[in-house]
Amino acid sequence: MNKCRSEVVELPPYRALLVVDVKNFSGEKGRDHARITRHIPVILEQALIRCGLGELRERVRFEGSTGDGYFWGFDPAFLPFLLNPFLAALQDELEYQNKVNLGSDRQYLRMRVSINVGPMTDSGGNDISDGSGDARIETHRLLDSKPVRDMLTRSTSTTCVAAIISRRVYEDAIVSGYAADAPELYVPVDVEVKTYCGTAYLRVPKPSGDLLASGFTPPEPAGTGPSAEADDVEGSGSGVQQQESRSSIVGITHVQGGVGTAITGHQPQVHVGRGDQFNAPLGDGVNIIGTNRGRIRHHVNKSGDQGDGR
């Protein structure tokens, strides 16, 4: 075994991590990519100033560009402020930027935001490896997940920010009350991206379009779900016959010894008694389930009325 892997090492410090990504960055003209990349951290800083948190810009532990996005690492004490009021301020700032900078050949700037907290490396000097750790990977998995992408796909350009936060952030900052944001504003979703699988929470400061009409988690498309499965059972071409719903009574006669519990249902399987057993259907809808010490009379009344159980 690798000696380094078997040794106990110190846990990295906990850091709050915010990562943003511009929607459809590749849809911008190549000549505009550099300008947008440079502009992203400026927008984030302006959002901090807009909500009265400009001093937080100087408290960033590590930061960097992802090409079509940007990330900031903070001491975890500042985590609540990244949720409230920063997310709403970022929505307002992007709306403003879209009004004053949008040209005829430019798209509206819209961002996905992922927020997490956990152990990450931090040299104190904004080293290239700072922010490394499982929590960092989880943050990017959440950012790339379908639920948060759908928030911008199913909304109009009015919605400039769609955020997704980890379960730990939700519990530590939202449920605890530190962020002073109502838990009802955050919608739980299941996330599966590559090898990551977990629960996260969506937050959209200004929903629009189908988000208002259908909610953050829309109903399943036609042709899927339990109702569709029932239709398949009823369909003539499915190869599966629907079971007829009929009432049934299980009655017991001439059984020596203890008697078990009578069971009702569509196809009850009842075997009560001792010794060899046999099942024999009769033409009147009565099944006789017998034992060598007595018999059980299973009466299926096709008219829908319950039999007498005799």
- Counting residues of the chain whose pLDDT is more than 90, the rounded percentage is 59
Burial of 308 (0-12, 13-18, 19+ CB in 10 A): exposed
Provide the pLDDT confidence category of residue 110 given band limits of 50, 70 and 90.
very high
Residue 102: C-alpha distances to residues 33, 94, 106, 109 (Å): 15, 11, 6, 9
pTM of the entire predicted model: 0.71
**Are residues 256 and 135 located together in one domain of the fold?**
no
Integer-rounded Cα Rg, in Å, for the chain is 31
133 domain-assigned = yes
Residue type, 175: V
In a domain, 243, yes or no: no
pLDDT in tens, 234-283: 444 444 444 444 444 444 444 444 444 444 455 545 444 455 554 545 55
- Domain endpoint, select from 165, 197, 214: 214
Q: Does a structural domain hold residue 239?
A: no
Could you please report the per-residue DSSP string of 273-285? Answer: SSS-EEEEE-TTS
Contact 135, 18 (CB under 8 A): no
Residue predicted with more confidence, 107 or 181: 181
Per-residue pLDDT, 21: 97
Domain match, 141 and 75 both: yes
Same domain, 74 and 177: yes
Give the C-alpha separation, 20 to 203, whole Å: 14
Sign, CA dihedral 14-133-110-163, equals: negative
Task: Evaluate whether residue 305 is within a structural domain.
Answer: no
Whether residue 168 sits in one domain with residue 117 = yes
Check whether residue 165 and residue 265 sit in a common domain: no
| Whether 282 and 181 share a structural domain | no
pLDDT band at 25 (very low <50, low <70, confident <90, very high): confident
What is the average pLDDT score of the chain? 81
Is 255 part of any domain? yes
Q: Domain ends where: 192, 214, 236?
A: 214
| DSSP letter assigned to residue 292 | T
Residue 203 corresponds to which amino acid? R
Percent of the chain's residues with pLDDT above 70: 67
Q: Are residues 23 and 172 in the same domain?
A: yes
Per DSSP bridges, beta strands 161-166 and 111-119 are: parallel
**Region at 229 (left for phi over 0; alpha for psi -120 to 50; beta for the rest):** alpha
CB 298 within 8 A of CB 250: yes
* Co-location of 197 and 64 in the same domain: yes
Query: Is residue 286 one of the residues assigned to a domain?
Result: yes
Whether residue 125 sits in one domain with residue 252:
no
155, 207: one domain: yes
Question: Does the pLDDT value for residue 129 go beyond 90?
Answer: yes
User: DSSP E strands: which ranges in 241-291?
Assistant: 248-253, 277-281, 286-291
Instruction: Look up the CATH number of the domain holding residue 44.
Output: 3.30.70.1230
Range of the domain at 268: 248-300
Average pLDDT over residues 49-57: 98
Does residue 309 sit within a domain? no
Task: Please write the tens of the pLDDT for every residue from 149-205.
Answer: 999 999 999 999 999 999 999 999 999 999 999 999 999 999 999 888 999 999 999
- Residue 272 and residue 157 share a domain: no
Domain co-membership, 80 together with 194: yes
Confirm whether 84 is domain-assigned: yes
Last residue of a domain, one of 188, 214, 240: 214
Residue 78: how many CB atoms within 10 A of its CB? 18
Question: For 92-96, what is the mean pLDDT?
Answer: 98
pLDDT confidence of residue 74: 99
Residue 201 in 3-state DSSP? strand
pLDDT score, position 6 = 83
Spatial CA neighbour of 103 closest among 37, 43, 5, 36? 36
Q: What is the pLDDT of residue 147?
A: 97
Q: How many domains does the chain have?
A: 2
